[in-house]
Structure 1
Amino acid sequence: MSNFFYPILGGVLIGLSATLLLLLLGRIAGISGIVWAAITETGQRTWRLIFLGGVIFGGSLFHWVSGVPIPEGNDNWLLAIIAGLIVGVGVKLGSGCTSGHGVCGIGRLSMRSLTATITFMVAGIVTVAVVNTVTG
Protein backbone atom coordinates (compact mmCIF):
# COMPACT_ATOMS: atom_id res chain seq x y z
CA MET A 1 0.00 0.00 0.00
CA SER A 2 2.79 2.48 0.89
CA ASN A 3 4.42 1.96 -2.53
CA PHE A 4 1.23 3.42 -3.98
CA PHE A 5 0.28 5.92 -1.27
CA TYR A 6 3.62 7.68 -0.55
CA PRO A 7 4.27 8.91 -4.12
CA ILE A 8 0.71 10.23 -4.38
CA LEU A 9 1.00 11.99 -1.03
CA GLY A 10 4.36 13.44 -2.07
CA GLY A 11 2.91 14.73 -5.33
CA VAL A 12 -0.02 16.33 -3.54
CA LEU A 13 2.31 18.03 -1.04
CA ILE A 14 4.62 19.28 -3.81
CA GLY A 15 1.62 20.65 -5.71
CA LEU A 16 0.22 22.24 -2.57
CA SER A 17 3.52 23.91 -1.66
CA ALA A 18 3.99 25.20 -5.23
CA THR A 19 0.42 26.55 -5.26
CA LEU A 20 0.77 28.23 -1.86
CA LEU A 21 4.06 29.84 -2.86
CA LEU A 22 2.46 31.20 -6.02
CA LEU A 23 -0.69 32.41 -4.25
CA LEU A 24 0.98 33.87 -1.16
CA LEU A 25 4.19 35.32 -2.62
CA GLY A 26 3.58 35.30 -6.36
CA ARG A 27 6.71 33.18 -6.85
CA ILE A 28 7.37 30.04 -8.86
CA ALA A 29 8.69 27.06 -6.88
CA GLY A 30 11.72 26.41 -9.08
CA ILE A 31 14.18 24.91 -6.62
CA SER A 32 17.34 25.76 -8.58
CA GLY A 33 16.27 29.39 -8.90
CA ILE A 34 15.39 29.56 -5.21
CA VAL A 35 18.76 28.08 -4.22
CA TRP A 36 20.69 30.38 -6.57
CA ALA A 37 18.87 33.50 -5.35
CA ALA A 38 19.30 32.47 -1.71
CA ILE A 39 23.05 32.33 -2.30
CA THR A 40 23.53 35.36 -4.55
CA GLU A 41 20.82 37.86 -3.58
CA THR A 42 20.35 39.62 -0.28
CA GLY A 43 16.74 40.74 -0.77
CA GLN A 44 13.95 38.27 -0.02
CA ARG A 45 16.44 35.70 1.24
CA THR A 46 14.35 34.79 4.30
CA TRP A 47 11.44 33.13 2.48
CA ARG A 48 13.87 31.26 0.24
CA LEU A 49 15.79 29.84 3.21
CA ILE A 50 12.55 28.90 4.96
CA PHE A 51 11.29 27.16 1.80
CA LEU A 52 14.56 25.26 1.33
CA GLY A 53 14.59 24.33 5.01
CA GLY A 54 11.09 22.96 4.58
CA VAL A 55 12.22 20.85 1.62
CA ILE A 56 15.04 19.32 3.67
CA PHE A 57 13.01 19.04 6.88
CA GLY A 58 9.99 17.58 5.06
CA GLY A 59 12.02 14.83 3.43
CA SER A 60 13.76 14.02 6.70
CA LEU A 61 10.47 14.02 8.60
CA PHE A 62 8.95 11.61 6.07
CA HIS A 63 11.77 9.11 6.52
CA TRP A 64 11.63 9.41 10.30
CA VAL A 65 7.84 9.02 10.57
CA SER A 66 7.38 6.35 7.89
CA GLY A 67 10.41 4.25 8.74
CA VAL A 68 11.38 4.15 5.06
CA PRO A 69 15.20 4.25 4.96
CA ILE A 70 16.98 7.11 3.24
CA PRO A 71 18.35 5.76 -0.06
CA GLU A 72 22.06 5.14 -0.08
CA GLY A 73 24.10 7.36 -2.36
CA ASN A 74 26.83 6.56 -4.78
CA ASP A 75 30.29 6.56 -3.22
CA ASN A 76 31.81 7.95 -6.42
CA TRP A 77 32.20 11.61 -5.39
CA LEU A 78 33.90 12.62 -8.65
CA LEU A 79 30.97 11.27 -10.65
CA ALA A 80 28.52 13.08 -8.37
CA ILE A 81 30.38 16.39 -8.76
CA ILE A 82 30.57 16.07 -12.54
CA ALA A 83 26.89 15.12 -12.74
CA GLY A 84 25.96 18.08 -10.53
CA LEU A 85 27.92 20.48 -12.73
CA ILE A 86 26.28 19.10 -15.86
CA VAL A 87 22.85 19.48 -14.28
CA GLY A 88 23.74 23.04 -13.24
CA VAL A 89 24.73 23.95 -16.80
CA GLY A 90 21.51 22.38 -18.08
CA VAL A 91 19.45 24.35 -15.58
CA LYS A 92 21.02 27.60 -16.77
CA LEU A 93 20.60 26.67 -20.46
CA GLY A 94 16.99 25.60 -19.90
CA SER A 95 16.19 28.65 -17.78
CA GLY A 96 14.93 26.46 -14.97
CA CYS A 97 14.78 22.99 -13.50
CA THR A 98 12.27 20.18 -13.38
CA SER A 99 10.42 21.71 -10.46
CA GLY A 100 10.09 25.10 -12.11
CA HIS A 101 9.18 23.81 -15.55
CA GLY A 102 7.67 20.41 -14.81
CA VAL A 103 5.60 21.20 -11.74
CA CYS A 104 4.89 24.91 -11.99
CA GLY A 105 5.26 25.66 -15.70
CA ILE A 106 3.09 22.83 -16.98
CA GLY A 107 0.57 23.66 -14.26
CA ARG A 108 0.38 27.16 -15.75
CA LEU A 109 0.02 25.66 -19.26
CA SER A 110 3.36 27.09 -20.43
CA MET A 111 4.37 25.68 -23.82
CA ARG A 112 8.01 26.57 -23.06
CA SER A 113 7.86 24.52 -19.86
CA LEU A 114 6.19 21.60 -21.65
CA THR A 115 8.99 21.61 -24.22
CA ALA A 116 11.66 21.85 -21.49
CA THR A 117 10.09 19.00 -19.50
CA ILE A 118 9.90 16.74 -22.55
CA THR A 119 13.56 17.54 -23.22
CA PHE A 120 14.50 16.70 -19.59
CA MET A 121 12.67 13.40 -19.78
CA VAL A 122 14.13 12.35 -23.15
CA ALA A 123 17.65 13.32 -22.05
CA GLY A 124 17.21 11.35 -18.82
CA ILE A 125 15.92 8.26 -20.62
CA VAL A 126 18.74 8.38 -23.17
CA THR A 127 21.34 8.90 -20.43
CA VAL A 128 20.10 5.91 -18.42
CA ALA A 129 20.02 3.75 -21.55
CA VAL A 130 23.58 4.73 -22.50
CA VAL A 131 24.96 4.29 -18.97
CA ASN A 132 23.25 0.89 -18.58
CA THR A 133 24.57 -0.22 -21.97
CA VAL A 134 28.14 0.91 -21.23
CA THR A 135 28.31 -0.33 -17.63
CA GLY A 136 26.23 -3.46 -18.13
Structure 2
Amino acid sequence: MSTATKPKHIGRNISRIRELRGMKQEALAIAIGISQQSVSNIEASETIDDEKLQAIAEVLGVSAEAIKNYSDETVFNIIGNTYHDNASSLNFNCTFNPIDKLIEAYDENKKLYERLVQAEKDKVEYLEKLLKAK
Protein backbone atom coordinates (compact mmCIF):
# COMPACT_ATOMS: atom_id res chain seq x y z
CA MET A 1 0.00 0.00 0.00
CA SER A 2 1.45 3.33 -1.05
CA THR A 3 1.39 6.33 1.26
CA ALA A 4 2.59 8.75 -1.42
CA THR A 5 0.29 11.73 -1.75
CA LYS A 6 -1.33 12.47 -5.06
CA PRO A 7 -0.02 15.70 -6.61
CA LYS A 8 -2.38 18.68 -6.53
CA HIS A 9 -4.48 19.23 -9.63
CA ILE A 10 -3.54 22.83 -10.44
CA GLY A 11 -6.19 23.20 -13.15
CA ARG A 12 -8.96 22.18 -10.77
CA ASN A 13 -7.66 24.66 -8.19
CA ILE A 14 -7.71 27.43 -10.79
CA SER A 15 -11.28 26.49 -11.68
CA ARG A 16 -12.43 26.54 -8.04
CA ILE A 17 -10.79 29.90 -7.27
CA ARG A 18 -12.18 31.40 -10.49
CA GLU A 19 -15.69 30.19 -9.56
CA LEU A 20 -15.34 31.55 -6.02
CA ARG A 21 -14.44 34.91 -7.54
CA GLY A 22 -17.58 34.75 -9.70
CA MET A 23 -15.52 34.90 -12.88
CA LYS A 24 -16.36 33.07 -16.10
CA GLN A 25 -13.76 31.25 -18.19
CA GLU A 26 -14.26 33.81 -20.94
CA ALA A 27 -13.43 36.72 -18.61
CA LEU A 28 -10.27 34.97 -17.42
CA ALA A 29 -9.31 34.22 -21.01
CA ILE A 30 -9.71 37.85 -22.06
CA ALA A 31 -7.73 39.06 -19.04
CA ILE A 32 -4.72 36.88 -19.83
CA GLY A 33 -5.02 37.12 -23.62
CA ILE A 34 -5.94 33.57 -24.57
CA SER A 35 -9.07 31.81 -25.83
CA GLN A 36 -11.81 30.45 -23.60
CA GLN A 37 -11.00 26.96 -24.91
CA SER A 38 -7.40 27.40 -23.72
CA VAL A 39 -8.65 28.27 -20.22
CA SER A 40 -10.81 25.15 -20.32
CA ASN A 41 -7.76 23.08 -21.29
CA ILE A 42 -5.66 24.65 -18.53
CA GLU A 43 -8.36 23.87 -15.95
CA ALA A 44 -8.44 20.26 -17.18
CA SER A 45 -4.67 19.80 -16.85
CA GLU A 46 -2.90 18.71 -13.68
CA THR A 47 0.13 20.93 -14.22
CA ILE A 48 0.72 24.35 -15.73
CA ASP A 49 3.88 26.26 -16.53
CA ASP A 50 4.91 28.88 -13.97
CA GLU A 51 4.56 31.83 -16.37
CA LYS A 52 0.89 31.09 -17.13
CA LEU A 53 0.24 30.25 -13.49
CA GLN A 54 1.62 33.63 -12.42
CA ALA A 55 -0.53 35.47 -15.00
CA ILE A 56 -3.66 33.60 -13.91
CA ALA A 57 -2.87 34.19 -10.23
CA GLU A 58 -2.52 37.92 -10.86
CA VAL A 59 -5.91 38.09 -12.60
CA LEU A 60 -7.57 36.05 -9.84
CA GLY A 61 -6.02 38.27 -7.17
CA VAL A 62 -4.14 35.48 -5.40
CA SER A 63 -0.57 34.25 -5.34
CA ALA A 64 0.67 31.33 -7.43
CA GLU A 65 1.38 29.52 -4.15
CA ALA A 66 -2.25 29.99 -3.09
CA ILE A 67 -3.37 28.27 -6.29
CA LYS A 68 -0.90 25.42 -5.77
CA ASN A 69 -1.92 24.91 -2.13
CA TYR A 70 -5.68 25.52 -2.51
CA SER A 71 -8.02 23.13 -0.72
CA ASP A 72 -11.78 23.19 -0.25
CA GLU A 73 -11.45 22.18 3.40
CA THR A 74 -9.32 25.24 4.15
CA VAL A 75 -11.86 27.55 2.51
CA PHE A 76 -14.72 26.01 4.48
CA ASN A 77 -12.72 26.24 7.70
CA ILE A 78 -11.99 29.92 7.09
CA ILE A 79 -15.63 30.64 6.29
CA GLY A 80 -16.79 28.65 9.31
CA ASN A 81 -14.40 30.44 11.64
CA THR A 82 -14.99 33.95 10.36
CA TYR A 83 -18.69 34.08 9.43
CA HIS A 84 -21.07 34.89 12.24
CA ASP A 85 -24.81 35.15 11.88
CA ASN A 86 -25.58 38.35 13.72
CA ALA A 87 -29.24 38.42 12.72
CA SER A 88 -30.34 37.51 16.21
CA SER A 89 -28.18 40.15 17.85
CA LEU A 90 -28.99 43.05 15.54
CA ASN A 91 -30.54 45.98 17.31
CA PHE A 92 -32.61 48.24 15.08
CA ASN A 93 -33.00 51.44 17.06
CA CYS A 94 -34.26 54.43 15.17
CA THR A 95 -32.52 57.68 15.95
CA PHE A 96 -35.79 59.50 15.27
CA ASN A 97 -39.45 58.91 15.91
CA PRO A 98 -41.13 57.97 12.61
CA ILE A 99 -44.46 59.42 13.74
CA ASP A 100 -42.79 62.77 14.44
CA LYS A 101 -41.34 62.72 10.91
CA LEU A 102 -44.78 61.94 9.51
CA ILE A 103 -46.33 64.85 11.41
CA GLU A 104 -43.53 67.17 10.20
CA ALA A 105 -44.21 66.13 6.60
CA TYR A 106 -47.94 66.69 7.09
CA ASP A 107 -47.36 70.17 8.56
CA GLU A 108 -45.02 71.07 5.70
CA ASN A 109 -47.59 69.93 3.12
CA LYS A 110 -50.26 71.95 4.93
CA LYS A 111 -48.08 75.10 4.80
CA LEU A 112 -47.35 74.56 1.10
CA TYR A 113 -51.07 74.14 0.39
CA GLU A 114 -51.89 77.33 2.31
CA ARG A 115 -49.28 79.25 0.32
CA LEU A 116 -50.70 77.87 -2.93
CA VAL A 117 -54.24 78.88 -1.95
CA GLN A 118 -53.01 82.36 -0.97
CA ALA A 119 -51.19 82.71 -4.32
CA GLU A 120 -54.40 81.78 -6.15
CA LYS A 121 -56.39 84.30 -4.07
CA ASP A 122 -53.84 87.01 -4.88
CA LYS A 123 -54.05 86.12 -8.56
CA VAL A 124 -57.88 86.30 -8.55
CA GLU A 125 -57.75 89.63 -6.68
CA TYR A 126 -55.27 91.03 -9.22
CA LEU A 127 -57.40 89.87 -12.17
CA GLU A 128 -60.54 91.39 -10.62
CA LYS A 129 -58.67 94.66 -10.16
CA LEU A 130 -57.66 94.60 -13.85
CA LEU A 131 -61.24 93.95 -14.92
CA LYS A 132 -62.54 96.87 -12.81
CA ALA A 133 -59.92 99.15 -14.31
CA LYS A 134 -61.32 98.57 -17.82
| TM bucket normalised to smaller | under 0.3
Report the TM-score when normalising by structure 1. Answer: 0.24
| Larger proportion of helix | 1
Q: Which has the larger radius of gyration?
A: 2
